[in-house]
Amino acid sequence: MTRTRRLLVDPIRCDAHGLCAELLPEMVQLDDWGYPIVSDQAVPAHLLGHARRAVAACPTLALLFAEAEVAQPARSRR
């Protein structure tokens, strides 16, 4: 099993400051009202530092990491 990290937004806490989209535009877009739409993909290793900064910078603590375990596909024997 492999651990992956995804970003989640708590819509109740979010006040649409937009810092997450400024710090991590590769994974966060803003809707017409300024609320974040986060990618449902796992955070790539090369963006983990930027993602951590975006999570830490959220003024309402609405952006967070979710860890998930992903099963590795079975290798076929030949």
Q: What is the pLDDT of residues 9-21, one digit of tens each?
A: 999 999 999 999 9
Q: Is the pTM of this model over 0.85?
A: no
Half-sphere exposure of 45 (CA within 13 A, CB side): 2
- What pLDDT is stored for residue 37 in this prediction? 96
Each residue's pLDDT tens digit, 65-78: 988 666 666 666 65
Each residue's pLDDT tens digit, 19-67: 999 999 999 999 999 999 999 999 999 999 999 999 999 999 999 998 8
CB neighbours of 32 closer than 8 A, spacing ≥ 6? none
- What pLDDT is stored for residue 3 in this prediction? 74
The rounded distance, in Å, linking the Cα atoms of 1 and 14 is: 32
